[in-house]
C-alpha cells in the first residue's frame, strides 16, 4: 500500500515545512526525490536527512517563478531519470493585506511564485509524463474558498491554483495524468513561528494559541498530516481520483459558526 518504489518525484519548496514533510515521507515510501527550491541551506539539509536514512534525494536550486530556471531543472531531471511520475507543486509565499494595502509589486511577486511557479513546473514536466501518466498535486489553501481577513493577494493566487488544477485534470485525462490539489488551513511550520515573532514580539505564545483556536478541532495542523494526504493522492491507490480539491483544515471551512 502507498508504495512509491521506482517513481520519480519532483517537490518544489521541499526544504522546510510541508514540503520537507512530503519529501521525507515520499522518500521513505521508496521514491527518488528531486527538491526544487531557492532555500539552499534548508533544501540541502532535507536532502542530507533523506540520504542519511538510506533514501534517495537530490537538490536543484531553482526559482520556479523563472521559466528558464524551471525548464532547465526539469530537463536535468529527465536526463538523469528519463521519466517523471509525480509532481508536488508546494512552493509558495504569503502576504498580509487588503486590496487597498497590497501594492502592485506585492501582487506580482505572489502571482509569480504561487501561480506562475506551478504553471512553469507543470508546463515543463507534462510532456515527459504523457507516455506513461502520473500524478500532479498542487498546494492550494482554504483561502481559495473561504474569506480570510487581510489575505487578498494570497487568496487570489490560491483560487487560481484550484482553477489550474481542474483545467490540467480535464485536459490530460486521456494521458492518465491525474491532477488534484490540497487546501490546508493553518499548519504549524517555521513560517508561522517567523510570522509571529515578526508581527507579535513578546506575544508569540498568546497569538499562537489564538490562531490555533480558530480551527474548530482546536489546534493547527502538522506538516506530516498534510504529507500523508499528499502521499495517498499521489499513489496508485488514488488512481480513480482527479480534478479534486481536498480541504484538510480541522473543520475550518465547514464547522466554523
Q: CA 183, 188, 192: angle at the middle one, nearest 5?
A: 100
Cα–chain center distance at 217: 23
Q: How far apart are CA 196 and CA 149, in angstroms?
A: 17
What is the rounded end-to-end Cα distance, in angstroms, of the chain? 38
CA neighbor of 139 nearest in space, from 180, 170, 108: 180
Q: How far apart are CA 177 and CA 181, in angstroms?
A: 14
Catalytic (active site) residue 175: no
According to DSSP, the β-strands at 177-184 and 8-12 are unpaired
Catalytic residue among 34, 154, 200, 232: 154
Q: Which residues are catalytic?
A: 154
Amino acid at each position: 500500500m502507498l508504495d512509491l518504489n521506482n517513481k520519480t518525484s519532483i517537490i518544489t519548496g521541499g526544504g522546510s515545512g510541508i514540503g520537507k514533510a512530503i519529501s521525507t515521507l515520499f522518500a521513505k515510501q521508496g521514491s527518488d526525490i528531486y527538491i526544487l527550491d531557492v532555500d539552499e541551506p534548508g533544501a540541502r539539509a532535507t536532502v542530507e536527512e533523506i540520504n542519511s536514512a538510506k533514501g534517495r534525494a537530490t537538490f536543484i536550486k531553482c526559482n520556479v517563478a523563472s521559466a528558464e530556471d524551471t525548464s532547465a531543472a526539469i530537463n536535468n531531471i529527465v536526463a538523469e531519470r528519463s521519466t517523471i511520475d509525480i509532481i508536488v507543486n508546494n512552493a509558495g509565499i504569503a502576504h498580509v493585506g487588503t486590496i487597498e494595502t497590497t501594492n502592485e509589486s506585492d501582487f506580482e511577486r505572489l502571482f509569480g511564485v504561487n501561480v506562475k511557479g506551478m504553471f512553469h513546473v507543470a508546463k515543463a514536466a507534462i510532456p515527459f509524463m504523457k507516455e506513461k501518466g502520473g500524478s500532479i498535486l498542487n498546494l492550494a489553501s482554504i483561502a481559495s474558498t473561504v474569506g480570510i481577513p487581510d489575505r487578498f493577494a494570497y487568496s487570489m493566487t490560491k483560487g487560481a491554483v484550484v482553477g489550474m488544477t481542474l483545467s490540467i485534470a480535464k485536459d490530460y485525462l486521456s494521458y492518465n495524468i491525474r491532477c488534484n490539489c490540497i487546501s490546508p488551513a493553518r499548519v504549524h511550520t517555521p513560517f508561522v513561528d517567523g510570522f509571529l515573532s515578526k508581527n507579535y514580539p513578546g506575544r508569540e505564545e498568546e497569538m499562537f494559541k489564538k490562531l490555533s483556536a480558530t480551527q474548530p478541532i482546536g489546534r493547527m495542523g502538522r506538516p506530516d498530516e498534510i504529507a500523508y494526504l499528499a502521499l495517498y493522492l499521489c499513489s496508485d491507490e488514488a488512481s480513480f481520483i482527479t480534478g479534486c480539491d481536498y480541504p484538510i483544515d480541522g473543520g475550518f471551512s465547514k464547522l466554523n459558526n
